Amino acid sequence: MKITWLGHSSFRIEIGGQVLLIDPWLNGNPMLPEDAHDAALKDATHILLTHAHFDHATDVLDLAKQLNIPMVGQFDLMSHWEATEQIEVVGFNKGGTVDLDGVGVTMVHATHSTSFGTDTGPHVPGSECGFMIAGEGHMIYVSGDTDVMADMKVFHDLHKPDIGILCAGGHFTMDMRRAGYAAKTFFNFKTVIPCHYKTFPLLEQSADALAAALPGVDVIEPEVMTPIEI
């Protein structure tokens, strides 16, 4: 398995013979050089979308069409885009599990917000979510944008993820201290990878507080376009 950070909350996960793009934000992402776009997208098989904010969803429609691959996300928005944008989708909802050609993906709750701009103001398409991704003997928890939730205990009890990809930049999501609390209180991760940080000055720039909160856990500060092999 390879997990590659594309900057901010965007990831490329190579797992079970599939290549999943998680919230792929390319154009305008200050952390991802333009000359890395092709490598980030190479052989992608699916796009997973946690919510519709610009820093997660700006590129997803163009990428679904360009790469001719399905977009995976909440039923309401996926169904709308399937009808209006003529893209292939896998629409489901929280608590549901789908099989992406041998990789299992369960949608789980997150607590945040979701919208995109229109000429008449913000449009709210469904709600925010996270994912549990199962393959190659591992379970990855992709938190999406969220704060700490008591729901996380349920996620652990049902799925027992060993890898956590956790938003931790603060201001818009939980920060490093809160992400550390969530991981320590509700989960038993072997590996934690922070995201949604460093991108802008108002976000946290270091994962030191997260690592300090999780002795015995491999807290990996990812480098953009450098695969983490697990």
Q: Is 142 exposed, middle or buried (0-12, 13-18, 19+ CB in 10 A)?
A: buried
Token pair 């349920």 is at which residue? 154
pLDDT score of 122: 66
What's the average pLDDT block by block, 10 residues per block, for the chain (230 residues)?
97 98 96 97 98 86 97 94 95 97 97 76 78 98 96 98 97 97 98 97 95 97 98
In contact, 193 and 171? CB cutoff 8 Å: no
Strand partners for 92: 74
Distance CA 14, CA 195 (A): 18
> How much is the pLDDT for 124?
62
pLDDT at 73: 97
> Domains in the chain, start-ordered, CATH in brackets?
2-229 (3.60.15.10)
Q: Smallest Cα–Cα separation from 54: which of 137, 149, 172? A: 172
Q: Whole-prediction pTM value? A: 0.96
Query: Residue 34 contacts by C-beta under 8 Å, 6 or more apart in sequence?
Result: none
CA distance 52 to 50: 7
pLDDT at 20: 98
Q: Which is nearest to 160 in space by CA: 131, 135, 140?
A: 140
Q: Which amino acid is it at 148?
A: V
Q: What pLDDT score was predicted for residue 154?
A: 98
